[in-house]
Structures are given as structure tokens and as C-alpha cells.
Amino acid sequence: MSEAGECMGAVLVVDDDPVARRLIRATLAPVGFEVIEAGDGEQALAVLRDRLPDLVLMDVSMPVMDGFSACAELRKLPGGKRVPLVMITGLDDVQSIERAFEVGATDFITKPINWPILAHRVRYMLRASTAINQIEQNHRRLSNAQRIGDMGDWGWDVRHDRVVPSEQAWHILGRDATPGWLTSDGCLASVHPEDKDRVYRACQHALATGEAFAIEHRIVQAGGATRHVHQQVEVLEHDESGRAVILAGAIQDITVRRVAEERIRQLAYYDALTGLPNRLLFTEHLNRAITDAQRHGRHVAIMFLDLDQFKRVNDTLGHVAGDELLKVVGTRLANSIRGHDSISRAHSESSGSSIARLGGDEFIVMLTDLHSASDAVAGAHRLIAALESPVTVQCTELYVGASIGIAMYPHDGTDIDTLLMNADTAMYRAKDAGRGGVLFYDRSMNARALERLVMESRLRQALEHGEFVLHYQPRISLATGRIVGAEALIRWRHPERGLVLPDEFISLAEETSLIIPIGEWAIAETCRQIAAWRAAGLNPGSVAVNLAATHLREQSLPALVMRLLQEHRLPRGSLDIEVTESVFLADPDLSMDIARQLSACGVGL
């Protein structure tokens, strides 16, 4: 044992000479080594199969099994390759020494043994073995970590122009590791052509200055696949002039991360339906365009474009058809911009002119580098002309036009919010003036826009405060002159304007989705009135209520009607619901199912 009482390690001594074994024990045991003895190669293997020592001292010349054979068998045992084995030989010929190393010996000691230095020799061998095992273990851990993290490393000897990649680095490069090393040109050959100059300049700068650097670029693997990598490069050694001569780098495959980032970016900046930029990306482009226009004294045109009669397509053919139409429209509008304008699509991020979809059937276009308003008019006419030819959707030819409102920088605003608001205002005025129109923003339009906003707010209040009323227009039989039914006509009893006809508020109600609750109110009020007439001894016949086309696709409608009929104890045939026939084109299965449910309740359609 050592002075500290700790075992220095277990040493297996294999020698057919018991005197030699005792001498070795007498030398090693007092300094803390545990000594295990074996008289020949077979006895040694029996010990080794049961327990692996920290070191083996083995004589070459032994009966039964010599040291060469025993060494070879040791290396075949599990873990046997890690045990240092020192051959003890009286043979000093080169051939015997070479054979010892061939079968796996770590070192050799010639007889006669120098006993005073034997213990020191054993200690050194154990320290070296421990260090080697730790290095191998660390190498395995590093290799596993690099494999899991898709990361490799490399070293570059600049003097000899030799780059030595790790196993995982070879894998990332998609190259055959057989050569063991590459030249710098060979490494650069793996870099994507579009990134090659940037990577070359970064390396040259590091060589000249000795500065570390990090860079992301693409590589092209031997099979043709393109991967994204991140490289972190350090300078380990300089020459007398300060120029780098030894560099080391870590390379990581970040393709999965980049694909995920691009997907997130697509979701954040692009419209999922048309692939066009969304409002967020458009405003970023607009901000850069305004800055550039201010610097160079140029004009920028902002155009709000809204499709004419798009709601009718949705109501008659359904939302799937509407989506198909929007895709075609988006492509046509983008292609219609003049050739030297740079359209922002999924593959382009220019700060020049761009087109974006805001949502629904609204698009916004920015034209830059304009000299006058006439340039904007020409661009608007190209947009409208792009929509003149019919679009075939679900075997149906559709003709769609557009209304466009234009705001000019700097005349109509010098900030993004003002320009967008004024272009939007101009677009609504263009729609009011007639389909397919183009109007520039005028300050007087703000009053109309404010009026529309107030009207929308008052419309919501009207529903909450019970300001709607129904007037009933009787249906009279020409044969008998008697009333056989009636039609409920909605009116708005405005607290300031008096009685307002539906032409002034129904379209706005449809745009703001208030049409559904207004329709439900009309059904409930009609049922209440029918019940009141019947209680007074009157027979009004069937009373019809007009509903928006979208209402017949509300799955809750049959349940509402049935509840109201039961609540007011109305007989079958008391209520009719009127909708346009085109409603059955949008979603025929759903509409027919709801129609059948209503018919089962005794409601005419």
C-alpha cells in the first residue's frame, strides 16, 4: 500500500519462474500495488476472464502458452484492449520486439530487470494508460454529443494546407472520410456557390488578423443536398508576423432550425392563402420606401383594392370557391405590376414596390419611384385590367372587378398609419361611386368615412335598444279579396332621422356580421305578432320573413325557429322564410339539410 494507505492499482504478474514473480511482488507491493500471480499464459487468461487488472507484466517465454499468444487472447476479451500489457523478455532481437507490438503489447522490459526503476516504470505506465483511457472516453462522449447535436469539429494546418475534419464533420459535409484530410480548396468546394466568396473572405481575414469569427452559410453535399451550417472558428497559433498558422473550428448543421425559422417567418409575414406578404411585412416595406422617398424627394403611391361583388361569390358558390378566386386574383395583381417593380413574394424581400393581402377580398399595393400622380393612375389601371378576363372556378366563369383608392406620399400623409387610412377611405368612396372605379384620396372623404363609422356604431345600438320595427305588407287573394298572408318588412326607427328604410343599412349590416342577429330578431318578432293576431281572433295566414342568404347556412336556425313556434303555440304553415335561390349553390348539402329541418317544422321556404 502507499503511504496514504491507498491501493496504487492491481498488477497481474505472469511468469513461469516463481523467483521472478516473488522479486516483482517484493518490489511493487511495498509501494502500494496489489500483485496477482499466474504461472503461464492459460492461468493468466483464467484470471483475466474473472477480473481485469490495471496492468499486466508478462514474460514472453513460458510453457503451455507463451506471452505472445496470451497477449493476443487478452486483447480479444471484453475490455481487454484497454489494459496496458508490458512484455518481459530476455530476447533483445528486433523481430521479437516487433512481434510483441503486433500482438498488442503496450511496452516491453528486457532482462535482467532494473529493480530500482521497475515501480517507477509501472507507475508511469498506469498514469499513461489512465490518461489514454480518459482521452478515449472523452472522445466517445464528444463524438456522441456531436452526433446528437449534429455538430463536428476540424483543425487546419495552414503551413501544410491540411484540414482534418472529425467523423461527424465528414458526415455533415456529406463527404467520404477515406482520405482523412482535405485541402482548404477542397473544403471551400463544399460551400454553396452563392456563399463561397463570403466564406473565403472571412477565412482570409482570420488568417491575416488572427481574429476568430462565426459565420452561417450553406454547403452542397456530395449527393447534391443543400444544408445550412454554422461555423465557429478560432485561431490557435500564429507565426512570427502574427499571421494565423493553426486554426480550429466547430461546424453545426442548423438546417432543421433554419427550416423552422423560415416556417415561422412565413406564418408571421405571409398570407397563408395567396402566398403574398401580409400587412406586417407590407408596413415594413412601406416604412423603408417612405424613408427612401424622403431622402430622394420622390413619391410613393398606396392603393387599397377591394374586389367588387366578392361577397356574392362566397354566398353563392361557397368559401372554397372564394378562396380559389382570391389565389388567382393575387397572382394576377402581382404579375400586373410593371416589370421593373420588385414584387414581394415568398422568395423576394425587396424594399421596392410590393403587393399584400390584408384579409378577405382586400389587397394593398405600393408603387415607388413615382414622378407624378399619373404614374399611380397607370398602375391602378393595370391592376383593374388584370381582372377583366374571366376566372374559372368550379367550372363556373366569374367576372370580378375591383375598386381602388389611392393615397400619395407625401401629399396625403407622411406616416404609415395616415397613408393606409386615407387609401382605405378613398377605396370605400370609389365603391360607393360605382364598381370598377379609381379615386384619389381627398380630405372631404373623411367626413363620409366618419359618417359610415357612426352608422355602424348606431346600428349595433339599434339592435340593443330595440329600435327596429316590422311593417307587414298583406297578401290578398284576387279571387276572394281576402287577406291570405303577409310579408314582414324591416324598418329602423332612428331616434334622430326618423324611419330609415332597409336600403340604407342592410348592406352595412351584412358587412359587419350584424345581419344574423337582426334576422333572428325579425323571426322572433314575426312569431310574436302572429300569436298576438291569433289571440285577437284574426287569421293572418302565413307571414314571410326575408333572411340574408348566409342565414340559411346557420346550423342553429332550425332549432331557433322550432323553439319560437312552440313558445308562441303557432300551427304549421304560420311562418314562411324567404331567401334567394342562389343560396343553395354555396353549400348545397348544408342548405338543403337546414331547409328540410325547417320544412319538418311546418315552415314554408
CATH number at residue 373: 3.30.70.270
385 and 322 both lie in a single domain: yes
pLDDT attached to residue 450: 67
Residue 6, helix vs strand vs coil: coil
135 and 206 both lie in a single domain: no
Domain carrying residue 554 = 454-600
pLDDT attached to residue 460: 87
Nearest Cα neighbor of 36 from 15, 57, 11 is: 11
| Residue 95 within a domain | yes
| Residue 582 within a domain | yes
87 and 165 both lie in a single domain: no
88 and 153 both lie in a single domain: no
CB 268 within 8 A of CB 260: no
**Residue ranges in the chain modelled with pLDDT below 50:** 1-4, 339-351
181 and 109 both lie in a single domain: no
53 and 109 both lie in a single domain: yes
Which amino acid makes up residue 288? R
Residue 410: asked if its preceding bond is cis (omega within 30°), the reply is: yes
Domain boundary among 144, 178, 211: 144
Dihedral of CA 350/353/358/360: which sign? Answer: negative
Dihedral of CA 523/525/526/530: which sign? Answer: positive
Axis-axis angle for helices 445-465, 515-535 (nearest 10): 40
81 and 157 both lie in a single domain: no
Beta strands 55-59 and 9-14 are parallel
154 and 128 both lie in a single domain: no
Name the strand (E) or helix (H) holding 560: helix 557-567
Name the strand (E) or helix (H) holding 350: none
| Residue 431 within a domain | yes
| pTM tops 0.75, yes or no | no
The rounded distance, in Å, linking the Cα atoms of 160 and 110 is 40
pLDDT attached to residue 351: 42
Distance of CA 379 to the CA centre of its chain: 34
| Residue 1 within a domain | no
432 and 402 both lie in a single domain: yes
Strands (DSSP E) along 340-401, which ranges?
354-359, 362-370, 391-393, 396-398
CATH number at residue 40: 3.40.50.2300
Q: How many domains does the structure of the chain reveal?
A: 4
Domain boundary among 112, 144, 176: 144
CB 21 within 8 A of CB 37: yes
| Residue 291 within a domain | yes
408 and 335 both lie in a single domain: yes
pLDDT attached to residue 346: 33
Strands (DSSP E) along 39-125, which ranges?
55-59, 85-89, 107-110
The rounded distance, in Å, linking the Cα atoms of 374 and 440 is 11
CB 547 within 8 A of CB 560: no
Domain boundary among 423, 443, 463: 443
Three-state secondary structure along 127-173? HHHHHHHHHHHHHHHHHHHHHHCCEEEEEEECCCCEEEECHHHHHHH
pLDDT attached to residue 603: 84
pLDDT attached to residue 350: 42
CB 15 within 8 A of CB 39: yes
| Residue 268 within a domain | no
459 and 430 both lie in a single domain: no
131 and 216 both lie in a single domain: no
CATH number at residue 185: 3.30.450.20
